[in-house]
Chains A and B, each alone.
Chain A
Amino acid sequence: DVKVTQSSRYLVKRTGEKVFLECVQDMDHENMFWYRQDPGLGLRLIYFSYDVKMKEKGDIPEGYSVSREKKERFSLILESASTNQTSMYLCASSFRLGKSGAGFETQYFGPGTRLLVL
């Protein structure tokens, strides 16, 4: 079974703190993604990565950065946390497009980290 784990289920931080959210997958997936989930807005893509040391901005990258030093690990960094970053953060991973021969690749999600910024 595919397993995507996230370092914390719940996190409480203060405004201005630097926050690290970590995601690890054990399926040797090339692609990794960070989303935030807010009621009524669904999931919005923050950043994604196709390979080690590669990153691409998603739809809402402002206020966030990412790091991918190893294939299995993708970190989301909030340089200076703000209250509007209070949200549920979801990590996902998938194989590189076409690797399975199907022409698409399913994304597998971690359990999420619920972050509260006070």
Chain B
Amino acid sequence: AQSVAQPEDQVNVAEGNPLTVKCTYSVSGNPYLFWYVQYPNRGLQFLLKYITGDNLVKGSYGFEAEFNKSQTSFHLKKPSALVSDSALYFCAVRERGNQGGKLIFGQGTELSVKP
């Protein structure tokens, strides 16, 4: 069965430091991978996706993510964190054979960036 794991419930980072939010997945075959962000009292906003090609994907707001097939991971990264990056982050996966577009989400990681 498909699954997504975000091993950290919360990540704390000082402003200006690099940040990493971890995600591992389990699917049969090659996946489509996504990151979404949720600011307080808002819906989810799409950040970036991996479909094929270069393992390093760049997205909105200076975020990037690295697809690692051997480790089945898709960690979200940013070189220099901002206080405004504080939010809830979700990793999601879809199997390539899934025609319906159904996504499986991780449980979310709360990112807190302190000044």
Interfacial chain A residues near B106, Cβ < 8 Å: 42
**CB-CB contacts below 8 Å: A27-73 with B:** 31, 33, 35, 40-45, 48, 50, 56, 58
Interchain CB contact under 8 A, B51 and A31: no
**CB-CB contacts below 8 Å: A76-118 with B:** 90, 92, 94, 97, 102-112
Extra pairs beyond A110-B43, A111-B41 (15, CB < 8 Å): A40-B9, A40-B108, A41-B107, A42-B6, A42-B105, A42-B106, A90-B43, A90-B44, A104-B51, A104-B94, A107-B101, A109-B44, A112-B41, A112-B42, A112-B43
Q: Does A4 contact B (CB under 8 A)?
A: yes
Chain A residue total in the interface (Cβ 8 A): 30
Interchain CB contact under 8 A, B100 and A42: no
Q: Does B49 contact A (CB under 8 A)?
A: yes
A4 to B43, CA, bound (A): 10
The 4 closest A-B pairs by CB, nearest first: A109-B43, A42-B107, A43-B105, A109-B44
**CB-CB contacts below 8 Å: B13-67 with A:** 32, 34, 36, 41-46, 49, 51
Q: Does B99 contact A (CB under 8 A)?
A: yes
Interchain CB contact under 8 A, A109 and B45: yes
Interfacial chain A residues near B6, Cβ < 8 Å: 42
Interchain CB contact under 8 A, B46 and A106: yes
Interchain CB contact under 8 A, A97 and B99: yes
A12 to B74, CA, bound (A): 38
